[in-house]
């Protein structure tokens, strides 16, 4: 029976579903089985109202930026050429999208099959994270229409940014391949789904190299500014810090995001083993705890190597200690506590704390401790904040749209699991 | 994009080649000690703050300008200024703490021997030319502004108010003038005092040290730019320590490109090494996939596809 189904071309199968007695493909797959009127009505919710409100401000701001330029829409200056569109949208956006890379490594490389249910949501989060980070980047680039230039026109081979540009492009493609089986299940293209499922293994392996390379390269970006980044944050180990904290962020984000989606998309989780899910969440916390301890000691060695102990007793030193104590040592301890006492609630809140800490680290590196000695400081203009919130909102809406339609949180009933 | 197949292949080969060798042609050009390079020696003890260099610079580079008379206005010295999109050079006033006399300091691109902007640019818009100037090509610039982050002297500025085609701007060292025999940069030409001296960089380094030797009471024993971030084409002499007249003396002798070079090299090495275990992991994962299918008694529908995948 399986075989005959496999032989049937996907397109024909799709057409067959358009018989008048069954709901049309569009109604079934786009409008979630409702009529257009019902579908619109079902979307009149408070959360959608908030999203609409945000976008009704953010989209005009995006247009404003394109029409009037960076000068009118940002607080950027010649001394502070990078603002939150780099510090938050790119640096935080990319590090928090490390879940796909971390889970992909655990699952495919280390063969941790028990994380099967974490893979697809993590990959989708990463894919959307990257796509929307690059979307936000377009507004920051002075000549956004030249985005492909480093790929096709002119090559700056000595630039770390060059490495990042190529790695972003390649990694987005790898993530698309990794995500595509879910898309083909939705489109009911069986042949494509089988073929791309195999290709996805290669894409994941390729993605491990690529993601590791550019996560560390984002830290290496600041290597060229030894005179501008505060010595407590500047270190030759910056690439290592960024890579290791990306792994921590990936693990924490998987915990945070899976906890949220399981709450929001409760209906899809009816046949789900929640005890098993909690157990796996705690063991992700175990990994994060180990990574945080390693990260802490590397920070310590970096500090000792540079001999910057005396700087700890300055205002920037207190801020540095705040970051390390509250967002590295504390979560490392709390994750370990969650493991020891089998406490999944602690693990979830600690993951959130860690995510906040990673965001703080990226903001510190790119904005707070950057140009610490400059005559003028940077504070974002309201339009910069609104555009950032708008892009995040778009990402969340895209995530929900896909999760509601494709087999992301569960195995598609018509397809045998490939995992 | 208007590049032919031949050009594309050539460029691909260049990428592959440099990925292996780890050194780009433009960086190789930036080796220090080229005696053919030009430079300018700025002796701040002679500067009278007339700001005619600013006027001449605007004039030559077609930046918005004002009548030369208006540059005599001393009120601009109340603030320390930096270079901006329409101002490639600015003169600032500092006070000599020994005798309360003013010290005027011209600021512009230092034209590093190994430029940070060049190594930061991901579309290779900057060039260190054989004659010394660091030039910028707006035709490929994407506007990421990483050059501004990388510049240790905070020189490149950006046309933030240009919505469609903003450019990075900075002093060009009047490369279009000095490449002609006997011509000097516009600022040097107009300078009414001995402040600006154009010549071969190696000669200027000697001249600077000679002046210090002949007048040790007048100068601090430091030629700024001789070694800073690997050396710069523009050199400065001063009567007071350089940090008192707006110079960064904490930026070290290490060039900016050398801060990122090691990382790029290590990344390439790691990525190449990591390929092999990962390829084996992929084969292993695929074989296991096959195994589970067989165990479940299901015909593994993807066998054909898998073989195809291996070929690619």
Q: Residue A268: its pLDDT value, please?
A: 83
Q: Shortest Cα distance from A41 to chain B (angstroms)? A: 40
Question: Residue B50 in contact with residue B72, Cβ under 8 Å?
Answer: yes
Question: Residue A161 in contact with residue A221, Cβ under 8 Å?
Answer: yes
Within 8 A of A191 by CB-CB distance, chain B residues are: 305
Q: Shortest Cα distance from A374 to chain B (angstroms)? A: 10
- Whether B261 and A205 lie within 8 Å, measured CB to CB: no
Give the tokens for residue A2: 């399986």
Mean pLDDT to the nearest integer, B214-229: 96
Q: How many helices (H) and strands (E) does chain B have?
A: 10, 9
Model's pTM, two decimal places?
0.88
Q: Shortest Cα distance from B264 to chain A (angstroms)? A: 7
- Whether B146 and A228 lie within 8 Å, measured CB to CB: no
Within 8 A of A140 by CB-CB distance, chain B residues are: 144
Q: Residue B310: its pLDDT value, please?
A: 38
- Whether A198 and B306 lie within 8 Å, measured CB to CB: yes
Within 8 A of B120 by CB-CB distance, chain A residues are: 156, 159-161, 224
CA dihedral B204, B210, B213, B217 (to 10 degrees): -60
The residue of chain A nearest to residue B265, with distances taken between CA atoms, is A158
Is the pLDDT at B304 greater than 50? The verdict is: no
Cβ-in-10-Å burial (0-12, 13-18, 19+) of A305 comes to exposed
Asked if the C-beta of A6 comes within 8 angstroms of chain B's C-beta atoms, the answer is: yes
Q: Shortest Cα distance from B67 to chain A (angstroms)? A: 26
Question: Residue A118 in contact with residue A255, Cβ under 8 Å?
Answer: no
Of B119, B145, B306, the CB nearest to A81: B145
- Whether B301 and A2 lie within 8 Å, measured CB to CB: yes
Q: Which of residues 126-155 of A touch B (CB under 8 A)?
A: 140-144, 146-147, 149-150, 152-155
Q: Residue B283: its pLDDT value, please?
A: 82
Sorted by where each begins, the domain ranges of chain B are 1-25, 31-255, 260-311
In chain B, which ranges are E strands? Answer: 38-43, 90-95, 102-107, 126-128, 134-136, 157-158, 168-169, 196-200, 234-237
Within 8 A of A216 by CB-CB distance, chain B residues are: 263, 267
Alpha helices in A313-381 (DSSP H): 315-324, 330-340, 344-363
Asked if the C-beta of A157 comes within 8 angstroms of chain B's C-beta atoms, the answer is: yes
- Whether A158 and B250 lie within 8 Å, measured CB to CB: no
Q: Which of residues 173-232 of B touch A (CB under 8 A)?
A: none
- Whether A143 and B141 lie within 8 Å, measured CB to CB: yes
- Whether A142 and B142 lie within 8 Å, measured CB to CB: yes
Model confidence over A11-62: pLDDT tens digits?
A: 444 444 444 555 688 888 888 888 888 888 988 999 999 999 999 999 999 9
Q: Which of A106, A158, A237 to mutate to probe the B interface, most B CBs <10 Å?
A: A158
- Whether A416 and B298 lie within 8 Å, measured CB to CB: yes
Q: Is the dihedral of CA A231, A233, A234, A237 positive or negative?
A: positive
The residue of chain A nearest to residue B18, with distances taken between CA atoms, is A157
Confidence of residue B13 (pLDDT cuts 50, 70, 90): low
Considering the domain B31-255 in this protein, what is its CATH number? 3.30.70.20
**Helix (H, G, I), strand (E, B), or coil: what is residue B199?**
strand
Q: Which of residues 31-60 of B touch A (CB under 8 A)?
A: none
Highest-confidence segment of A239-243, B35-39, B175-179: A239-243
Q: Identify the CA nearest to B235 among candidates B26, B100, B37, B27.
A: B37
Residue ranges and CATH numbers for the domains of chain A are 54-403 (1.20.1630.10)
Of B123, B263, B271, the CB nearest to A154: B123
Question: Residue B155 in contact with residue B168, Cβ under 8 Å?
Answer: no
- Whether B122 and A165 lie within 8 Å, measured CB to CB: yes
C-alpha pair distances (Å), B308 with each of A188, A206, A416: 21, 17, 21
Is the pLDDT at B66 greater than 80? The verdict is: yes
Distance between CA atoms of B121 and B138, rounded to whole angstroms?
12
Q: Which of residues 314-343 of A touch B (CB under 8 A)?
A: none
Q: Which of residues 164-183 of B touch A (CB under 8 A)?
A: 164-166
Distance between CA atoms of B116 and B126, rounded to whole angstroms?
10
Confidence of residue B17 (pLDDT cuts 50, 70, 90): low
Q: What is the ipTM of this complex?
A: 0.89
Asked if the C-beta of B9 comes within 8 angstroms of chain A's C-beta atoms, the answer is: no
Distance between CA atoms of B12 and B61, rounded to whole angstroms?
36
- Whether A108 and B251 lie within 8 Å, measured CB to CB: no
Please list the pLDDT of chain A residue by residue as tens digits (419 residues): 344 444 444 444 444 444 455 568 888 888 888 888 888 898 899 999 999 999 999 999 999 999 999 999 999 999 999 999 999 999 999 999 999 999 988 887 788 888 888 999 999 999 999 999 999 999 999 999 999 999 999 999 999 999 999 999 999 999 999 999 999 999 989 999 989 988 988 898 888 889 999 999 999 999 999 999 999 999 999 999 999 999 999 999 999 999 999 888 888 877 778 888 999 999 999 999 999 999 999 999 999 999 999 999 999 999 999 999 999 999 999 999 999 999 999 999 999 999 999 999 999 999 999 999 998 999 999 999 999 999 999 999 999 999 999 999 888 888 866 55
Cβ-in-10-Å burial (0-12, 13-18, 19+) of B16 comes to exposed
Q: Which of A227, A367, A371 to mutate to probe the B interface, most B CBs <10 Å?
A: A227
Within 8 A of A162 by CB-CB distance, chain B residues are: 122-123
- Expressed in angstroms, the distance from the first to the final Cα of chain B is 28
Within 8 A of A223 by CB-CB distance, chain B residues are: 259-260, 263
Q: Which of residues 238-277 of A touch B (CB under 8 A)?
A: 239
Helix (H) / strand (E) containing A140: helix A116-140
Is the pLDDT at B125 greater than 90? The verdict is: yes
The residue of chain A nearest to residue B9, with distances taken between CA atoms, is A152
In A223-333, which ranges are E strands? Answer: none
Give the tokens for residue A183: 């898309």
Q: Residue A26: its pLDDT value, please?
A: 83
């Amino acid at each position: 029976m399986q075989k005959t189904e496999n032989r049937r071309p996907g397109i024909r199968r799709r057409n067959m579903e358009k018989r008048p007695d069954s709901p049309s493909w569009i109604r079934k797959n786009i409008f979630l089985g409702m009529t257009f009127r019902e579908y619109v009505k079902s979307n009149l919710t408070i959360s959608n109202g908030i999203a609409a409100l945000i976008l009704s401000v953010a989209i005009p701001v995006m247009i404003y930026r394109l029409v009037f330029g960076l000068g009118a829409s940002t607080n950027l200056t010649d001394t502070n050429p990078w603002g939150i569109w780099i510090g938050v949208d790119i640096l935080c956006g990319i590090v928090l999208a490390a879940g796909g890379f971390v889970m992909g490594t655990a699952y495919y490389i280390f063969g941790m099959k028990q994380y099967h249910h974490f893979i697809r949501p993590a990959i989708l989060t990463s894919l959307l994270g990257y796509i929307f980070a690059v979307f936000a980047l377009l507004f920051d680039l002075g000549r956004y229409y030249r985005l492909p230039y480093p790929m096709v026109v002119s090559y700056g081979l000595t630039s770390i940014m060059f490495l990042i540009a190529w790695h972003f492009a390649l990694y987005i493609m790898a993530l698309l391949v990794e995500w595509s089986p879910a898309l083909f299940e939705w489109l009911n293209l069986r042949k494509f789904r089988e073929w791309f499922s195999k290709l996805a293994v290669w894409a994941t392996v390729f993605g491990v190299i690529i993601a590791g390379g550019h996560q560390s390269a984002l830290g290496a970006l600041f290597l060229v500014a030894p005179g501008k980044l505060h010595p407590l944050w500047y270190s030759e180990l910056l690439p290592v810090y960024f890579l290791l904290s990306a792994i921590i962020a990936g693990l924490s984000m998987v915990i945070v995001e899976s906890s949220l989606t399981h709450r929001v998309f409760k209906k899809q989780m009816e046949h789900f083993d929640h005890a098993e899910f909690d157990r796996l969440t705690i063991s992700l916390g175990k990994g994060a705890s180990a990574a945080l301890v390693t990260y802490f000691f590397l920070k310590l060695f970096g500090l000792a190597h540079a001999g910057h102990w005396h700087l700890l007793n300055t205002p920037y030193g207190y801020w540095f200690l705040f970051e390390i104590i509250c967002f590295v040592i504390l979560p490392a301890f709390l994750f370990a506590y969650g493991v020891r006492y089998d406490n999944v609630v602690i693990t979830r809140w600690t993951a959130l704390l860690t995510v906040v800490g990673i965001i703080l680290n990226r903001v510190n590196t790119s904005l707070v401790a950057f140009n610490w000695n400059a005559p003028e400081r940077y504070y974002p203009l309201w339009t910069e904040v609104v555009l950032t919130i708008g892009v995040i909102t778009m990402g969340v809406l895209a995530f929900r749209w896909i999760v509601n339609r494709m087999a992301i949180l569960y195995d598609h009933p018509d397809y045998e699991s490939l995992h | 994009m208007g590049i032919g197949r031949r050009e594309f292949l050539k460029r691909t080969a260049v990428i592959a080649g440099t990925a292996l060798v780890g050194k780009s042609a433009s960086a190789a050009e930036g080796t220090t000690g080229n005696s053919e390079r030009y430079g300018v020696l700025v002796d701040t003890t002679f500067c009278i703050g007339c700001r005619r260099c600013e006027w001449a610079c605007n004039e030559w580079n077609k930046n918005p300008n004002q009548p030369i008379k208006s540059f005599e206005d001393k009120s601009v010295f109340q603030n320390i200024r930096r270079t901006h999109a329409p101002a490639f050079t600015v003169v600032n006033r500092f006070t000599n703490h020994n005798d309360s006399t003013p010290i005027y300091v011209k600021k512009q691109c230092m034209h590093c021997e190994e430029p940070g902007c060049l190594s930061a640019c991901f579309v290779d818009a900057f060039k260190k030319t054989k004659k010394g100037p660091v030039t910028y090509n707006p035709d490929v610039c994407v506007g990421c502004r990483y050059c501004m982050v990388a510049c240790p002297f905070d020189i490149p500025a950006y046309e933030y108010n240009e919505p469609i085609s903003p450019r990075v701007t900075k002093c060009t060292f009047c490369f279009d003038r000095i490449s002609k025999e006997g011509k000097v940069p516009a600022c040097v030409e107009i300078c009414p005092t001995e402040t600006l001296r154009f010549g071969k960089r190696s000669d200027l380094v000697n001249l600077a040290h000679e002046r210090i030797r002949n007048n040790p009471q007048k100068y601090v024993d430091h030629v700024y730019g001789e070694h800073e971030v690997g050396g710069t084409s523009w050199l400065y002499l001063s009567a007071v320590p350089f940090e008192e007249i707006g110079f960064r003396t904490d930026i070290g002798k290490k060039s900016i490109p050398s801060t990122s070079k090691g990382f790029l090299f290590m990344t390439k090495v790691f990525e190449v090494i990591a390929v092999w275990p990962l390829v084996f992991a992929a084969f292993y994962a695929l074989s296991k996939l096959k195994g589970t299918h067989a165990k479940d008694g299901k015909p593994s529908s993807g066998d054909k596809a898998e073989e195809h995948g291996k070929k690619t």
